[in-house]
Amino acid sequence: MEQLQIDIEIINSIEKIEPERSLDRSILRLLEKEVIKRVTKYQVMTQGFEKKYSVTFDKFEKKIKESKPAFSEEQDYYDWDMAITAKEDMEKELQKVRMHLEKRDINP
């Protein structure tokens, strides 16, 4: 495993913000919280578009592809698609972070 040097003041801040048994766990917990925030952000964006257009993304996408949408609708389409993709990516990252946390619970 590659070693990383971190300034002691940064380590102290990490340990104050997220006290854990090890620095690795503290960093993983901070990552977990950040990823959860991002998943929530993209979920809220997705729900906002669903509410605005009263349809699922799939139905909206079909409408966009079968018509000549207004610029704002086309922009919403790209933003909505990005939000869905980013949420899925962040959910995968969350699984990875939690897997690493579980490993550290088994092998502290």
Is 2 inside any structural domain?
Answer: no
* Torsion from C-alpha of 30, 43, 64, 78, nearest 10 degrees: -20
Predicted model pTM: 0.86
pLDDT band at 29 (very low <50, low <70, confident <90, very high): very high
Is 1 inside any structural domain?
Answer: no
Q: Is the dihedral of CA 26, 31, 33, 34 positive or negative?
A: positive
Structural domains of the chain, count: 1
What is the residue type of 97?
A: V
Is 14 inside any structural domain?
Answer: yes
Express each pLDDT in 46-61 by its tens digit.
999 999 999 999 999 9
Q: Is the dihedral of CA 3, 4, 8, 13 positive or negative?
A: negative
**Residue-averaged pLDDT of the chain:** 94
Express each pLDDT in 74-96 by its tens digit.
999 999 999 999 999 999 999 99
Is 26 inside any structural domain?
Answer: yes
Residue 108 scores a pLDDT above 60: no
Mean pLDDT calculated for residue range 4-30 = 93
pLDDT of residue 107: 60
Give, in degrees to the nearest 5, the angle at Cα 35 between 39 and 15: 150
Q: For the chain, what's the residue count?
A: 108
Is 55 inside any structural domain?
Answer: yes
Domain holding 58, by residue range, is 8-106
Is 3 inside any structural domain?
Answer: no
Which residue, 47, 81, 41, is CA-closest to 64?
A: 81
Is 29 inside any structural domain?
Answer: yes
